[in-house]
Chain A
Amino acid sequence: MALNFRGPDAVPLTLQINGEAHQVLVEPRRTLLSVLREELGLTGTKRGCGQGQCGACTVILDGETAYACLTLAIECEGREIVTIEGIAQGDALHPVQAAFIQHDGYQCGFCTPGQVVSAVALLAHTPQPSEAEIRAGMAGNICRCGAYPAIIRSVRAAAETMAEQEG
């Protein structure tokens, strides 16, 4: 049995993003980040370093956070992709988003989509995190403004809100 190579010319892909199937025609060299932003207009996911060193492009793949800038789109077929655009329920903000607004969990806001996505995934796995768990869970998202104390407060407040809603 031989390997079935696709490309280097564009190949049709079906990507499941925020609960919807999207068809795109892209070369295998395209990253998930470039397909989200340039093919699908989902520009909430930010391109920071483009080298997997800043976390601005964080998305959720099958329940786990990943850097879209180092993920090839062709390897995302059949996976559940959640971007920052899929975090709110319609016009109702996710408790993490509301907490970032209430507690000023950002300054310039560029890293915020990645921070929010990481916090949502963290609280899905660890609903009542300690401060150490928040710091460890958010370690892959750099904030060059240095809003870390407010980010940690925001995540803790979101955990409390979510616990109340559960209760």
Chain B
Amino acid sequence: MTIHRFAHADAASLQEVVAALDETCLPLGGGTDLVAMMKAGLMAPERLVNLKTLPDHHGVRPGDGGWRIGALMTLADLAADPAVAEAPALASLVEAVLDSASPQLRTMATLGGNLLQRPRCWYFRNPEVPCWRKGGRRCFAFRGENKYHTLLGGGPCYAPHPSDPAVALLALGAAVRLSGPAGDRTLALDDFYVTPTRDAQRADGYHPVTVLAPDEVLVEVLIPGSAANARSAYVKLMERGVWDFALVSVAVNLALSDAGQVAAARVALGGVAAVPWRATEAEEALLGGSLTPEAIDRAAEAVVAGTRPLEHNAYKVDQLKAALRQALRRWTAD
């Protein structure tokens, strides 16, 4: 597991970083994914730029009634930040962060890097397997060992996106700010993540699931003020009790009227698609009603709309229903 040779620089300003980045020069955050990818021989950049030495984007600031979270915050610092930890509306984000990885990985991993993780699929991570996602001709999971693979969105890649915070942030209506040589752009997470297609392929052969350009850096996560008046929950089902990727996860963000009716709803799913997935049918089922047992039943049926299980992962359909029920029942009065 010797890593290939590369040059390394500590970044001092974002301008010099984006001027240097291309397919052979990659930004390095906590390294919990990229260093592992390099050790496996799956990536071999000639140069790495350490983003952690940048002066900015390490903290939380208020913004437009919501929150602006620096993408270089570690997961541990994010969950411990009083502005986040003490905000009831961000309960789902804190749960998703603390459900992620292990204590050691949370002190290393940055939020930005977490949102940009590569899949944990065993075919993808095996350097001997030329799977479609890394430039090969087909997905070996589709007719192979696909217990942990996707239900939604179809192919050509069936590896689920591994991030928990991304699912919570999608339900919170978050956006990301990207910095590049031509300036900044801000995109809703709904538009930032894209299912991998044959049209989009990087110079290194990999198919991306975001619209981030090779010379852009994800610098900030923006959570809108509308989320501040709502309540949120994150439910993650795992094989182990801790330190595991989601089999499925559900994030819910609800605004309830004084009469207890759902005035706004966002539901996002993890572990079931190549990108964090909006469950719009479940949102529509919840909207306008109150959280009666019948309404929860309808939402649980709606959340699995369009699922197409593979040979070994049909259990995830039932898990999705259960996870959504578990999330919604936090707000019922029984």
Contacts and interface: CB of A to CB of B under 8 A. Distances in A.
A70 B243 contact: no
Interface stretch (B28-36, B143-151, B220-228): B28-36
A35 to B, nearest CB: 13
Given A3-B20, A51-B36, A52-B36, A67 B7 contact: no
Interface residues of B, number: 39
Given A1-B12, A5-B47, A50-B1, A55 B52 contact: no
Given A51-B39, A75-B50, A58 B8 contact: no
- The listed residue with most A CB atoms (<10 A of its CB), out of B7, B16, B31, B38, is B7
Contact of B8 (A28, A65, A137): A28
A113 interface: no
Contact of B6 (A4, A8, A55, A67): A8
Contact of B5 (A1, A29, A50): A29
B10 A67 contact: no
A163 to B, nearest CB: 22
Nearest to A28: B8
Contact of B108 (A29, A51, A67): A67
B4 interface: yes
A3 B17 contact: yes
A139 B108 contact: no
A38 B13 CA distance: 34
A4 B20 CA distance: 11
A52 B36 CA distance: 8
B242 A136 contact: yes
- The listed residue with most B CB atoms (<10 A of its CB), out of A2, A31, A71, A72, is A72
Nearest to B12: A1
Interface in A1-60: 1-8, 27-29, 31, 50-52, 55, 58
Interface in A108-167: 118, 135-137, 139-141
Contacts of B35: 31, 52, 70-72
Contacts of A8: 5-7
Nearest to B108: A66
B5 A27 contact: yes
Given A52-B36, A65-B103, A4 B242 contact: no
Contact of A28 (B12, B20, B48, B105): B48
A23 to B, nearest CB: 18
Nearest to A67: B104
B264 interface: no
Given A8-B5, A29-B6, A55 B48 contact: no
Contact of B7 (A28, A61, A75, A139): A28
Contacts of A85: none
Contacts of A104: none
A146 B294 CA distance: 44
Nearest to A2: B16
Contacts of B11: 3
A140 B20 contact: no
B87 interface: no
A6 B9 contact: yes
B320 interface: no
B36 A70 contact: yes
Nearest to B244: A139
16 contacts: A2-B16, A6-B7, A29-B5, A29-B38, A31-B35, A52-B32, A52-B35, A58-B104, A64-B76, A67-B105, A71-B108, A75-B31, A136-B103, A139-B242, A140-B102, A141-B102
Interface of A: 1-8, 27-29, 31, 50-52, 55, 58, 61, 64-67, 70-72, 74-75, 118, 135-137, 139-141
Interface of B: 1-13, 16-17, 20, 28, 31-32, 35-36, 38-40, 47-50, 52, 76, 101-105, 107-108, 242-243
